[in-house]
């Protein structure tokens, strides 16, 4: 499984678990594109699933980065180091 993090807005996100991480998905009627991953977190005291991050398809890379960093304090997986 892959842990899927969908960045929905500055204060809103969803976490799901999918078998695959396609480049483009329809999530609740809106197109989302894969922006990062799936990548495996560095070794911790317990095994973690690979993580993939999605954001609305219409966002520019700069807008995605702003959203990513705005949500990083709320989503621990966004602050992990990856191999």
Q: What is the pLDDT of residues 5-61, one digit of tens each?
A: 999 998 899 999 999 999 999 999 999 999 988 888 776 666 678 889 999 999 999
73 has a pLDDT exceeding 70: yes
In whole angstroms, how large is the CA radius of gyration of the chain? 12
Cα(48)–Cα(22) distance, rounded to whole angstroms? Answer: 20
Q: Which domain holds residue 60?
A: 2-79
70 has a pLDDT exceeding 90: yes
pLDDT, residue 39, reads 85
Task: Give the chain's domain count.
Answer: 1
- The end-to-end CA distance of the chain, in Å, is 17
> Is residue 14 a contact partner of residue 53, using CB atoms and an 8 Å limit?
no
pLDDT, residue 77, reads 83
Dihedral, 69, 53, 49, 46 alpha carbons, nearest 10? 0
pTM of the full predicted structure?
0.87
């Amino acid at each position: 499984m892959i842990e899927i993090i969908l960045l929905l807005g500055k204060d809103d996100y969803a976490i799901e678990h999918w078998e695959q991480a396609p480049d483009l998905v329809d999530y609740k009627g809106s197109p989302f594109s894969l922006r990062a991953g799936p990548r495996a977190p560095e070794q911790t005291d317990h095994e973690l699933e690979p993580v993939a991050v999605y954001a609305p398809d219409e966002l520019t890379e700069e807008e995605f980065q702003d959203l990513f960093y705005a949500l990083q304090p709320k989503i621990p997986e966004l602050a992990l180091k990856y191999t």
